[in-house]
Structure 1
């Protein structure tokens, strides 16, 4: 069995991550915010401007589930302090790179792409 070349793996990872950015409810303002400062899911839900950072309202549990997926894809990472990992997240270099794909707001994905994303999220090998 042959393994994928590193470049092909990187392209596939970027493609999956870009799809997630279009399918998840977070707006560009959210990603720009976590690019400059760490944010926890509970703090996110308490923000008065949470509606401007996200399409629709999410519970802190829902936010955390989406963040775990974005961490797995390499878009977000956990913030580290003197005692280890925290509940706060920050944008990764790949996340910054992906934001450059869209000059303005991240366009929402069409229905078929959102379905594909959900399948991919439930069954990552798809």
Structure 2
């Protein structure tokens, strides 16, 4: 198996609309930047994010039920920021970043996520709830 030459590594290039939607979805999510920063090094299980664990680890803005947490993480999967972790037995309850997620972490490094505007929340709501199912 050939070794990867990291000097020739080129990051994936995403359309500006994809980047804007992903950024808006992340800042409108109930999660803090600490969650995605931690995901740069390891996968994180749903149990570590839901309920009071999310507050204790600094991952969430408020306690989330497992269902609410799973739905919010599912939306970040749909916009391409996260993916579910897979092991030898199949899909697990853990999550990791995608290349798009790494680009967002790099963009927001050394700062907190911006506070979403009313326009951001409205655009995220429209995109999330009125999307086509394919």
After TM superposition, the structure 1 = structure 2 runs for residues 44-83 of structure 1, keeping only pairs within 5 Å, are 44-45=49-50, 47=53, 49-50=55-56, 52-83=58-89
TM-score normalised by the chain length of structure 2 = 0.78
Out of 108, 125, 129, the residue aligned to residue 118 of structure 1 is 125
Q: Show the counterpart of 1:93.
A: 99
d(CA) in 1 for partners of 2:106, 2:54 = 27
Query: Normalised by the size of structure 1, how large is the TM-score?
Result: 0.83
In structure 2, the partner of 1:17 is 22
Aligned positions, number: 119
Unmatched segments (≥5 aa) in structure 1? 1-7
Q: Tell me if 1:32 matches 2:37.
A: yes
TM-fit CA distance, 1:49:
4.3
SS at match of 2:107: coil
Structure with more of its chain in helix, by fraction: 1
SS in 2 for 1:53: coil
Deviations 1:51-110 (A, max 9, x none): 621111111111100111101111000101011211110111110101222231111211
* 2-structure distance, mates of 1:10, 1:53: 28
Deviating more after overlay: 54-63 vs 33-42: 33-42
Shift in alpha-carbon separation, 1:108–1:51, aligned structure 2, 3 A = farther
Partner residue of 2:46 out of 41, 55, 59: 41
Greater mean deviation of Cα atoms: 92-101 or 65-74: 92-101
Contact preservation (8 Å) 1:51, 1:57 = no
CA RMSD of aligned residues (A): 2.2
